[in-house]
Homo-oligomer: A and B are copies of this chain.
Amino acid sequence: MKIIEGGICAPKDFLASGIRCGIKASAAKRDLALVFSSRPCTSAAVFTANLVQAASVTVSREHNQAGKIRALIANSGNANACTGPAGLEAARRMAQLTAEKLGIQAEETAVASTGVIGVPLPIEKVEAGIPELAASLNSLGADDALEAIMTTDTRKKCMAVEFSLPEPAVGCCGTESGQDLSRRGGERKTAFEAGGEASPLRIGAMVKGSGMIHPNMATMICVITTDAAVTAPMLDRALRRAVNRSFNRLTVDGDMSTNDMALIMANGAAGCCLIDSEGPAWEAFALALEEVCAGLARAMARDGEGATRLVTVTVDGAACEEDAAALARSVAGSSLVKAACFGADANWGRVLCALGYAGVAFEPEETSVTFASAAGDVPVCKNGGSLPFSEEKAKQVLLEEEIEIRVVAGKGPGRASAWGCDLSYDYVKINGDYRS
């Protein structure tokens, strides 16, 4: 697997565009994005678990029932949430008008919105923008589309990878690997192309989100494209696992948004045959997807509102992966740990404290903590108690832009990482008057 350029347009036959339609106050900023596959797609999506859901979430969830989404229209500057029946109508209209313009069904179109909550979406601006938006679709439009979904984001967060499915040979990968779930990694050859030579596949993704970010999930819009051919159920399974191991292990401020959505569209344009069951091909695809999502999750943590540091918390020795993830998230989400990271203060007691209220069992008396970064490693706690360490050295380590908090929480097999960022003055500044 290698990282490539091109973002959401890296996979074949995906086009994108981003224009300014006037929702954002700033006259210079794009605020309307379109992503479109020129071929039919299978699709999968996960949505916010917040009981208060944006109109776009309601509509996209409905449309994705059939698993055939091939276009996404997204606006920034307005979340179209808490906007009542008029908001729902506006979201439906966004999808309908986009579908008409593209010559596809409304059910093949997803809608996303991000921005301020509770203000009516100026649908007439979206409506007026759609012709230009559709006309500007092109295979180099990924960057424009990405710009158009950003709000307080300060970095463009996108990624694309190219990879091949394992062990190409004669026959159809999907069916064969599906018949042999038990022999993952075994000797039997699975095949992905009639010719035997594996075409490379691509996954591209872009993501928006830097505040209101917490497991399950965040004010995030994540759009993923791939030219692999994957059935909707297999796409769904891969997406859920990838999201669980990436965006759901990310926390910026503990707030779960009304608008979160991660959508994947697969158009099969690479020419590999269909992945329609688990097996080595699905596993290879799912791992590549996970890699992309994890890369974006780290990028989101680094771009957390006001963040000056990316904080990775790794927990080893927990009873199981889920327990390790819960412990890691609790540390990454602690306001006090985050403030200590901002101050480059090796206050490991706060790490233990946050482990203690994670809600899962672990062994405080067997717990150790190490602060690490490019500047070195500083073990600060062993068996739940303090180790002598150089405060000066620890400060150096914690002043790096990327820091790691390594925890061993017992002797179990569970291991997981979570990503977060520090809590800075700027977080308060950015969120103290977001609407102005």
Q: Flag whether A65 is at the interface (Cβ < 8 A).
A: no
Interface digits, A207-220 against B, CB 8 Å rule (1 contact, 0 not)?
00001100000000
Q: Flag whether A320 is at the interface (Cβ < 8 A).
A: no
Q: Which of the residues B79, B339, B381, B432 comes within 8 Å of A118, measured between beta carbons?
A: B381
Chain B residues whose CB sits within 8 angstroms of the CB of A314 once the complex forms: none
Question: How many residues of A are counted as interface, with CB atoms below 8 angstroms from the partner's CB atoms?
Answer: 65
Q: Flag whether A84 is at the interface (Cβ < 8 A).
A: yes
Q: Which of the residues B84, B255, B339, B353 comes within 8 Å of A350, measured between beta carbons?
A: B255
The answer to whether A82 touches B342 (Cβ under 8 A) is no
A340 vs B116: C-alpha distance when bound (angstroms) = 13
A345 vs B334: C-alpha distance when bound (angstroms) = 25
Of A211, A256, A353, A355, the most chain B CB neighbours within 10 A belong to A353
Q: Flag whether A36 is at the interface (Cβ < 8 A).
A: no
Q: Closest CB-CB distance, A336 to chain B, in whole Å?
A: 5
Q: Which of the residues B333, B336, B343, B428 comes within 8 Å of A424, measured between beta carbons?
A: B428
The answer to whether B428 touches A364 (Cβ under 8 A) is no
Chain B residues whose CB sits within 8 angstroms of the CB of A340 once the complex forms: 431-434
The answer to whether B254 touches A335 (Cβ under 8 A) is yes
A58 vs B256: C-alpha distance when bound (angstroms) = 36
Chain B residues whose CB sits within 8 angstroms of the CB of A295 once the complex forms: none
A212 vs B349: C-alpha distance when bound (angstroms) = 12
The answer to whether A436 touches B384 (Cβ under 8 A) is no
Q: Closest CB-CB distance, A305 to chain B, in whole Å?
A: 9
Q: Flag whether A139 is at the interface (Cβ < 8 A).
A: no
The answer to whether B345 touches A435 (Cβ under 8 A) is yes
Chain A positions 158-199 with a Cβ under 8 Å from a chain B Cβ: none
The answer to whether B345 touches A434 (Cβ under 8 A) is yes
Interface digits, A385-429 against B, CB 8 Å rule (1 contact, 0 not)?
110000000000000000000000000000000000001110111
Q: Flag whether A138 is at the interface (Cβ < 8 A).
A: no
Chain B residues whose CB sits within 8 angstroms of the CB of A433 once the complex forms: 340, 343, 345
Q: Across chains A and B, which 10 residue pairs bring their CB atoms closest together, nearest first?
A: A117-B349, A343-B432, A52-B356, A339-B431, A50-B356, A84-B385, A118-B349, A343-B433, A256-B357, A253-B335
* Interface residues, chain A, with chain B CB atoms under 8 Å away: 49-53, 79, 81-84, 87, 116-120, 211-212, 253-258, 333-336, 339-340, 342-343, 345, 347-350, 352-357, 361-362, 364-365, 381, 383-386, 423-425, 427-436
